[in-house]
Amino acid sequence: MAFEELLEDPVIQKYLHELVGPKGMPVAAAPPDGEVTDEELAEELGLELNDVRRALFILYENDLASYRRLRDEDSGWLTYLWTFEYGKIPEKLEMEMQRLLAALEARYEYEGENEFYLCEQCGIRFEFDEAMEFGFECPECGDSVDAMENTRLVESMETRIDELRDELNVESAEVEV
């Protein structure tokens, strides 16, 4: 995928937005070719220098930008020259999807293995052991807690897990609930 195509992809735009936030998005969405200083970016984009530096640091922490330092011989000041490395974004997105899949599978198993009770008044959900410990009464308000059906939640999680597995081309591990 070409660099320009990467930045036009709405999934990648959303990913970058989640990383750097709305103030950093102009920095992430318009990376220059070659090296650039944070001051040049701030001036070119009309942004506060701190917002530009924050976005650059976040991109750096996520391996999407790198820098090299130059020391001015006369003043001793350091200048940071930044380079954007967006070729790693597809790989990063796949890792995020794999992390999401693992979390969903764990939650799916938890939801299927437990019986839950709900206090309608407070909206607090209890596992069976907790509900029994409290005498099937909410410790917050004293109302009774009733058995909670989570079949729709489990089914929607199963659907999403199947979609992620298809997208990642991962074999089903057949998690039994």
Last residue of a domain, one of 31, 60, 84: 84
Q: Of 120, 156, 153, 149, which Cα lies nearest the Cα of 137?
A: 120
CB 112 within 8 A of CB 33: no
DSSP secondary structure string for all residues of 62-118: TTSEEEEEEE-TTT--EEEEEEE-GGGHHHHHHHHHHHHHHHHHHHHHHHHH--EEE
In a domain, residue 174? The reply is: no
pLDDT at 146: 94
In a domain, residue 50? The reply is: yes
Q: How far is CA 156 from the centre of its chain?
A: 20
pLDDT at 24: 92
Please list the rounded mean pLDDT of every run of 10 residues in the chain (177 residues). Answer: 66 90 90 88 93 96 93 90 90 90 95 94 94 95 93 94 89 56
Q: How many residues does the chain have?
A: 177
If one counts the domains in the chain, the total is: 2
CB 145 within 8 A of CB 137: yes
User: pLDDT tens for residues 97-128?
Assistant: 999 999 999 999 999 999 999 999 999 999 99
Domain residues for 7?
A: 3-84
> Rounded to two decimals, what is the model's pTM?
0.66
pLDDT at 169: 85
Q: Of 64, 55, 53, 65, which Cα lies nearest the Cα of 24?
A: 55
In a domain, residue 177? The reply is: no
pLDDT at 72: 86
Q: Do residue 96 and residue 152 come from a single domain?
A: yes
Q: Do residue 79 and residue 143 come from a single domain?
A: no
Q: Do residue 9 and residue 78 come from a single domain?
A: yes
Q: What is the CATH number of the domain that holds 54?
A: 1.10.10.10
